Structure 1
Amino acid sequence: MRQLFIQPIETIDHLSKEQFLNHYYKLQIPVIVKGAAKDWPAYSKWSFEYIKIQGKDKIVPLYDNSKVDASRKVNEPVASMPLAEYIDLLLAGDSTYRIFLYNLMKEIPQLKDDIVYPDLGVSLLRSMPMLFFAGAGSRVFMHYDIDLGNIYHYHFAGYKTALIAPPSARQYIYHVPFSTICLEEIDFENPDFEKYPALKKITFYHAELQHGDMLYMPEGWWHYMRYDTAGFSLALRSVPHKLPHLAEAVSNIFIVRHLDNLFRTAFGNRWIQFKNEYAYKRMAKWHNQTDILINQT
């Protein structure tokens, strides 16, 4: 079987402020903290049924694994339905939809009382705790977050697998311009190295998460998620502390995504095709040059 170069992420049972700052945050190294949410009210309270009751008839935006299409803006949902109805479908295995970036503080504010913000020595954005839901087998394509934030990813209910890579992977991961994704056609669980040889240059890191675990993903890290069972996660975040990452975040949010939407409107799917072809040809050119250098030596 074709395999990426994958290393496990360090897993620990406790994380102090000093340990986090000195060993992970400053060095921008990922870590898994087992049972990190065990002292939160959410640890014992949060289940699908509990969220369903608290959310009542909230209408939630839904996403699927449809490829990027010029008819929709960046991060525009493909459907919507009441939260209770969605959870019923999810548990029955009848939905491929995901809930993506659902602002807990804004939409279901009573849930904030179930969170205990960790004291890790960094300022967390308390107005932006985001929820993510998906059913068994759902996959979230490889991407990095538009704001390049440091992500504190707490998982609840069931099991989830993550594959992550550092920002330096961008030069090999077939990054699509004017976006924070790579080519959607790449299967990171069974990669085609003949078509995407540059992937062999990347060191990926693997995580397995269960109820209450936290995965710290440093700023700008690429991540691919697979829900092994139906589950949901809460993402807390802090702003990037590296100035180039902060500058890119500002550019992404206020300039790049608006230009991308403008070009989608103006050129339709020709713009999407151009970006995808550019992402591939840029890497293909790198690969061909590497072959030439190898042959010359």
Structure 2
Amino acid sequence: MAKTKFFRVAVEGATTDGRVIERDWIDQMAAGYNPETYTARINCEHLRGFSPDKPFNAYGSIVAVKAEDFALQLDGKSQTRRALYAQFDVNDQLVEINRAGQKLFSSVEIAPNFAATGKAGLVGLAVTDNPASLGTEMLAFSAAKPMIDGFKSKPDSLISASVEFAFELEQAEPDAATGAFAAMKTFFERFTTSTPAPATPVAPAPAGTPPATPPANDNFAQLAEGIRLLGAGVTALSTKLDTDVGVLRTELGTLKTQLGSTEQPGGTRPPATGAEASKYATDC
């Protein structure tokens, strides 16, 4: 899973079923959203599948939201609107879909009376291709609203008009081993990329002057630092390997246990015990 940066997912104004997202609702959703209380999940076109298989599986979760004003250009004029911004924790499937130019818009699902609090709450979000497909075109037909209602988690929920978005993933933090070896690389590059200072001419010593004592090697501290970084990198790598090997051992042990308790395919014939002597014996 990968976290995105915050981007706009909803704006005060029209919804797909003709109602309006109020400005206060944006602020209430931002102030009251807590994934530990209720996690809004991401789906495709507001369709919640029962199977983990695509295309109607869940694509991730909303981990945080906030409200901000932004300038909307409408009819050649700038209008200040309240907007909801969200941060996603998405799976690789949604990242690939978005990068392929598919499902470029978001549409949030809002509960106007979330958990009987009297305040609006964010209960879901869908990715969609065409903002008009859940907006103007459907509202033009009397049969359209029941179609939208069928997508909702609750009948009184609202589905917003879609807003275009693009993923910008946060940079993942390197593990300890990677960070240690990167620091070592930077350290040793100082010895290979530095430009030597030009030599300063030295005046010849007067006759009879004893030779000067050669200067002590002043690279010892730098060498010690390099050795320390090398040791830290080896330690971090060893710890990571121990952890990975431990996980593999656990998984292998579980697999062996499962295979040992699984009946092999095909029927098995019971061992032959021979004929019953009393049944086939003759009286001579």
RCO greater where, 1 or 2, for CA within 8 Å and sep 6 or more? Answer: 1
- TM-score with structure 2 setting the length: 0.23
- TM-score with structure 1 setting the length: 0.22
